[in-house]
Structures are given as C-alpha cells and as structure tokens.
C-alpha cells in the first residue's frame, strides 16, 4: 500500500458519486459550517495541517492510482466502480495536483454557528466530482475546531473566577493538557493538543509541539511543562517511605515549580502531616512552588479540603479582592474528573469558602481531547451550488424530518455586519469576504503562523 494515498482517504460511497451528478455538471461548490451545538462561538482550527499533510503538491501518482484500483476492485467486487480515468486525468492534465480551490476563515477565528467557515470547489470543469470526494478528509477539521472551541470556553469560565477572586494574568497556565494517553491516536493528540494551545500555554502532550512546529511554521515552542511525579515514582518507595519520596522530589528539583501527586495513600494525611508537618520547613525553605496534586475522590470536596489543610499548615494572605491565597510556596493542581462542568463546580466551591482561583490549576485529559464528537458542534459539509449545462443553480437540502439540517443555498461569503457579528451572505453581496483562498490547484496560497492563530482566538 502506498502511504498517505489520498485516493483511499474517503468513504467508499464517494467512489461511486462521479456517475450520480446530473449530466452536464461542471462545477460543484460546497461549504462547511457548525449547525449549532454546545457553544455558540466556534473556533476554526486545523485546516492547515490537513492541507500540508494530505493535499499540497503532487498527491496523485500512477502508483497510487494502481494501488487504489486493486483495492477498490476487491472492495466493490467490481473493477468499474473506481474512476481510474478521472484520476488519470488529474495526473496527466494537472501533474497530480488537485484542481480545487479552498477558501476559509483565518484559523483561530471564533465564528458564530450557522456560518460558512470554509468553501471548496473544483477549478477544472472535468473534475466536478472531486469537490465532495474531499469531504471526508476536510470535515475532520471538526476535531481541532471543537477542541479549540471548548478549551476557549473553559478559558472564559476560568477568567470569570480569576476576575472575581484573583489575578487574571495567571489564566494561560490554568488548564494543562493531560490528554495524550486518552486519545484514539497520535494524530489526534497532535491536532487536539495543538488546538488546546490556541488558548492556553500548559501541556504534557508533546506530540502537539511537534505538530505546531511542522505545520504552523515556527521554531517557537508554544507549550510548557514542569517536573511532576506519577504514582509509580512515589509508591515504589513503599508506603512507609512516602515522606522520603516527597522529600526526594523537593531535593531533586532544587528550585522552581514541581508537582507531586499526593493521594497514593491518604491525601489529607499527606497534606497535614507530611507536606505541612515533617517537610514543612523543606517546602518553605525551597526556592519555588510545590504543586500538590490530589487524584481521587469527589473533585470539589477533595480540592476544598486539601486547600483548607494547606492553608492551616502553611498560612495564607488575603488579596485585594478579599479572597485567601495560599503561601506562595504551595499550590494545587486537580487533574482527575476534570471537565467543563467540574471546573466550574470546583472554582465555585473555592469561591464560596473564600479561596481565590489563584490557588488552583487544572489538568484535563479525556474530556479535553476525546470526549467530543462531530455532533458536539454539529459540523456539516454540504453542496450549496453547482453549474449544470453552463447554468449556475442553488443546491440545498431541507428535510421535513429535521429543519435543523436545512443547508444554505448558492455561492457564499462570510462577512462581519455593522455590529461586528458574522453573517453568511450570497457571494455576490458587496462587503469584504472573510473566507480567503488558502489552497488552489495543489498550492497553499495562504498560511497562518501559530502566533497569529492565538491572536485571532484571544478573548
């Protein structure tokens, strides 16, 4: 099998579609939108990865065509379904580069749902069938966009609590990506992890850093981490040596931040009698901050009790907003049971008991990178315009069984209205189109740096 064979990156039924459009079809024009869902403002993110990794340059070769033909003959039990002539036309006429134009809103831009975020059409009338062949791959942009969207909403939520109870400038390190092990693939970790870094600066998902470096044009590293314990490094000392394991953490990492998972046996005992007892002086004399990590129990209850114990043992100050902040050498990170809702519950519980959001950071894994699907924001890719026998026609669906699945009609543009809200209008309308050509006939026309993308998503 030829690696990254674009001819195989689609749904089987799409192989049969070239015969199904009306005779005389020369143009198929489709658009991508979020039809609604959990959050109103949807961050567009990840297209550049797909363009660079799968669509740019010569992507059709004789070897790929032959390899696909063999597979499809067996798959369909029939050699006639695969459109060999169509692909050989692209090879011969276009040197194996894709005769399509893709326009998209700038990556990182939050766009209200029910707006076109991307459009695609064929640029060679013979290749009308290619537009929607690419749907399967292009729609995967739902994933990076949905991760970036939720991560941004969590940032807003955390910012509210920091505004009310503490220091908003701390927000970039308040949500750390713990999700690598919980995703279905390294590719998901790369894209999802990068999507999180559109909004935050803390990550343990190293694959995301490589993805940003390779596909978002930069040598800059956009995610940061610190030394941190896991259960094996603590429990291998034996239960009777829990304090020695903790002291080792303080001495191995002489200064700066260090995180220590502290629930191996009894997190309350660890906080009261080890960190806040036997090792209290070592913590206070250390040039840096110990981050205590509970990892079990009901998050809001455990966090409150842990912070209360650490407050009793190490002391706290009251900030200008009237909330308690632990001694600067001690903080807490909660990474178990963390999702959009539990973050709110934990911050609310802390606030109710007079504790600032400054005291805590969150680690989020499965709920950040995996507990999402294409329906979280109801992403869809639909044909809205075609040219048949030289005449442009509107194309749409409008199912009686679900008006929410109604699709837009005609060639489209994305604009900002006088109130600064996004609107999708007919392409012929006057105002500036925010959908910019990013890909045409095999070439990437416009690229975004990760810094620009972060700026576009800024709150």
**Residue numbers of the site for ligand AOY (CB under 6 A)?**
176, 178, 204, 225-226, 228, 259, 291, 293, 333, 335, 363
Residues 6+ apart with CB under 8 A from 238: none
Distance CA 10, CA 301 (A): 47
Residues 6+ apart with CB under 8 A from 3: none
DSSP 254: -
* Identity of the residue, 55 or 259, whose beta carbon is nearer to ligand AOY in the bound complex: 259
* Identity of the residue, 260 or 453, whose beta carbon is nearer to ligand AOY in the bound complex: 260
Least CB distance to ligand AOY at residue 204 (A): 4
* Identity of the residue, 65 or 228, whose beta carbon is nearer to ligand AOY in the bound complex: 228
Residues 6+ apart with CB under 8 A from 231: 261, 264, 295
Least CB distance to ligand AOY at residue 261 (A): 6
* Identity of the residue, 61 or 225, whose beta carbon is nearer to ligand AOY in the bound complex: 225
Residues 6+ apart with CB under 8 A from 442: 55, 56, 57, 58, 59, 94, 95, 96, 97, 98, 99
Least CB distance to ligand AOY at residue 272 (A): 20
DSSP output for 422-448 = EEEEETTSSSPPS-EEEEETTEE----
* Identity of the residue, 45 or 178, whose beta carbon is nearer to ligand AOY in the bound complex: 178
Least CB distance to ligand AOY at residue 230 (A): 7
* Identity of the residue, 98 or 292, whose beta carbon is nearer to ligand AOY in the bound complex: 292
Least CB distance to ligand AOY at residue 203 (A): 9
Least CB distance to ligand AOY at residue 238 (A): 22
Least CB distance to ligand AOY at residue 363 (A): 6
Residues 6+ apart with CB under 8 A from 296: 263, 267, 302, 336
DSSP output for 389-400 = TTEEEE-----T
Least CB distance to ligand AOY at residue 226 (A): 5
* Identity of the residue, 135 or 295, whose beta carbon is nearer to ligand AOY in the bound complex: 295
Write phi, then psi, for 451 (nearest 5 degrees).
Answer: -60, -45
Distance CA 126, CA 89 (A): 9
- Residue (of 113, 140, 38) closest to 376 by Cα position: 38
Least CB distance to ligand AOY at residue 366 (A): 10
* Identity of the residue, 118 or 361, whose beta carbon is nearer to ligand AOY in the bound complex: 361
Write phi, then psi, for 109 (nearest 5 degrees).
Answer: -75, 125
> Cβ(247)–Cβ(282) under 8 Å?
yes
Q: How far is CA 372 from CA 10, 148, 336, in A?
A: 21, 11, 18
* Identity of the residue, 267 or 414, whose beta carbon is nearer to ligand AOY in the bound complex: 267
* Identity of the residue, 279 or 332, whose beta carbon is nearer to ligand AOY in the bound complex: 332
Which residue number places its CB atom closest to ligand AOY?
Answer: 259
Distance CA 164, CA 38 (A): 25
Write phi, then psi, for 74 (nearest 5 degrees).
Answer: -75, -40
Distance CA 368, CA 150 (A): 8
Least CB distance to ligand AOY at residue 337 (A): 12
Distance CA 167, CA 161 (A): 9
CB under 8 A, 24+ apart: contacts of 316-321? 319/165, 319/166, 319/167, 319/356, 319/358, 321/164, 321/165, 321/166, 321/356
* Identity of the residue, 226 or 388, whose beta carbon is nearer to ligand AOY in the bound complex: 226
Q: How far is CA 421 from CA 57, 110, 113, 117, in A?
A: 36, 11, 11, 14
Residues 6+ apart with CB under 8 A from 319: 165, 166, 167, 325, 356, 358
* Identity of the residue, 60 or 333, whose beta carbon is nearer to ligand AOY in the bound complex: 333
């Amino acid at each position: 099998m030829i690696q990254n064979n674009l001819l195989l990156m689609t749904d089987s039924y799409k192989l049969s579609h070239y015969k199904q459009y009306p005779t005389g079809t020369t143009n198929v024009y489709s658009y991508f939108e979020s039809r609604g869902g959990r959050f109103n403002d949807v961050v567009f993110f990840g297209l550049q990865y797909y363009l660079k990794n799968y669509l740019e340059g010569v992507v059709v070769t004789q070897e790929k065509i032959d390899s696909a033909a063999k597979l499809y003959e067996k798959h369909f039990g029939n050699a006639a379904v695969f459109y060999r002539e169509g692909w050989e036309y692209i090879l011969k006429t276009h040197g194996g580069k894709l005769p399509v134009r893709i326009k998209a809103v700038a990556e990182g831009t939050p766009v209200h749902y029910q707006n076109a975020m991307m459009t695609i059409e064929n640029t060679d009338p013979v290749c009308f069938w290619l537009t929607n062949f690419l749907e399967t791959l292009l729609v995967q942009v739902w994933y990076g966009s949905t991760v970036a969207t939720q991560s941004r909403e969590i940032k807003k939520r955390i910012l509210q609590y920091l505004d009310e109870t503490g220091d908003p400038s701390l927000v970039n390190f308040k949500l750390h990506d713990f999700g690598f092990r919980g995703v279905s693939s390294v590719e998901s970790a790369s894209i999802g992890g990068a999507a999180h870094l559109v909004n935050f600066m803390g990550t343990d998902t190293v694959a995301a850093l490589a993805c940003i470096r390779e596909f978002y044009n930069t040598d800059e590293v956009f995610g940061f981490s610190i030394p941190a314990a896991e259960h094996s490094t603590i429990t291998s000392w034996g239960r009777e040596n829990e304090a020695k394991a903790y002291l080792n953490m303080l001495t191995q990492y002489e200064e700066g931040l260090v995180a220590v998972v502290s629930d191996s046996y009894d997190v309350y005992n660890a906080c009261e009698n080890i960190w806040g007892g036997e090792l209290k002086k070592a913590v206070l004399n250390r040039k840096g901050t110990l981050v205590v990590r509970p990892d079990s129990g009901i998050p809001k209850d455990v966090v409150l009790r842990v912070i209360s114990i650490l407050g009793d043992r190490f002391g706290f100050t009251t900030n200008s907003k009237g909330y308690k902040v632990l001694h600067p050498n001690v903080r807490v990170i909660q990474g178990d049971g963390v999702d959009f809702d539990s973050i709110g519950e934990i911050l609310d519980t802390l606030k109710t008991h007079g504790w600032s959001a400054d005291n805590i950071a969150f680690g989020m894994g499965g709920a950040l990178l995996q507990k999402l699907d294409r329906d979280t924001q109801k992403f869809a890719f639909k044909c809205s315009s075609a040219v048949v026998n030289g005449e442009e026609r509107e194309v749409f669906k409008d199912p009686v069984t679900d008006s929410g699945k109604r699709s837009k009609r005609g060639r489209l543009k994305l604009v900002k209205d006088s109130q600064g809200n996004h609107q999708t209008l007919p392409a012929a309308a006057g105002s500036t189109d925010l959908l910019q050509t990013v890909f045409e006939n095999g070439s990437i026309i416009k690229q975004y740096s990760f810094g620009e993308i972060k700026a576009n998503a800024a709150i």
